[in-house]
Structures are given as C-alpha cells and as structure tokens.
Structure 1
C-alpha cells in the first residue's frame, strides 16, 4: 500500500467512515464547548428542545399507532359483522390514553 493510500485510509477512519464528516464541536454563546452532534441530536435538538421533541414524538406515535390498530379492528367489525371487536378497540385506547396524558402532563405541567 502506498504512503498516500495509508494517509487517506487513516483520514477516512478518523472521520468516521467514507462520506461522513467529523462531528462539529465549538463554543456556545456562553463560552462553553458544545457536545459533538450525533444523528439523534441533529434530528431532535439539544437541551430543552430535545425534551420537548421526545414528548411530542411520544404523543404523535401513540395517536398514530392506536388509530391504526383501531382502524384494523373496526375493519374486522365491518367485514365480519362481529361487534365483539369493539371491545378490543376500547382496550387499545385504554392502553394508549394513559401514555398520552402522561406526556401531555409532562409537557404542560413542568415548572420552569
């Protein structure tokens, strides 16, 4: 392996792989260095924004999953004319409603 290829391989490994940029770190407005940005940090933010993002993602996914499962049970009611599946819809929402109210309570009830 040539010396130039070895240098390129070392640079590629140091940057985290082919096509990846090394994580950025720099001072914040307060003068303290920031954390290196990862994949989750780029999507959700940092600090207070990350906490709020997780809460709202929990609420969104809970509604989405419960709605999808309820729709599937409702389609069984329509197809088979069997109303016992309606009890299953109630049990799905009884699982997700406490999770949603917990997340909403955290989002709006936390003190500053």
Structure 2
C-alpha cells in the first residue's frame, strides 16, 4: 500500500511539473533568429502564426530541434513559418514515415 502511494505521489509531481508542458510561441511577433533559437532551446515548440490566405485565421505547427525529437517512426522534415522579419523562416517539423520515405 505504501509503495502505491509513493508511486502515485511521484506521478502527480511529474505530471504537474512545467517540464511536461510544451512551450508555445507566436512567430509574427518574433524575428526568425528568435524563433529558431527558441525551438533549439526547448527542443519541441508549438508555433502559432497567421494564415497566408488572408482569412485572419491562425495556424499551428510543432517545430522540433532535430529528428531525435520526433516520436515513433517519424523523421525531421524542413518547413517554414512566417516571422516578424522573414516571410519563410526555416524550421524542422516531424513527418510520419511511409513506405516511400525512410
């Protein structure tokens, strides 16, 4: 019984820690260098940026520092997001593996 309480307490502490949460960043207010630096520092980040279709909507991407951050069989793939100073700021995202890609 004591062991179960200790395990549950440890799980509760881990789940409540800030390490478990993924950071978010709005790219429209940051330079490309700031976006890339933030991704490298946090290893995986949710990026929020305005749609290029002019609808006023927001789009989201999960940017990663490198392929090692991709879960499962995914791999790193180049992409870009708009930033304050660049229309196409290069980032890495995770893409799923298929029979056609390793």
User: TM-score surpassing 0.5?
Assistant: no
- Greater helix proportion: 1
Higher relative contact order at CA 8 Å, sep ≥6: structure 1 or structure 2?
2
- When normalised by structure 2's length, the TM-score is 0.28
- Between Structure 1 and Structure 2, whose CA radius of gyration is higher? 1
TM-score (norm 1): 0.26
- Higher fraction of strand: 2
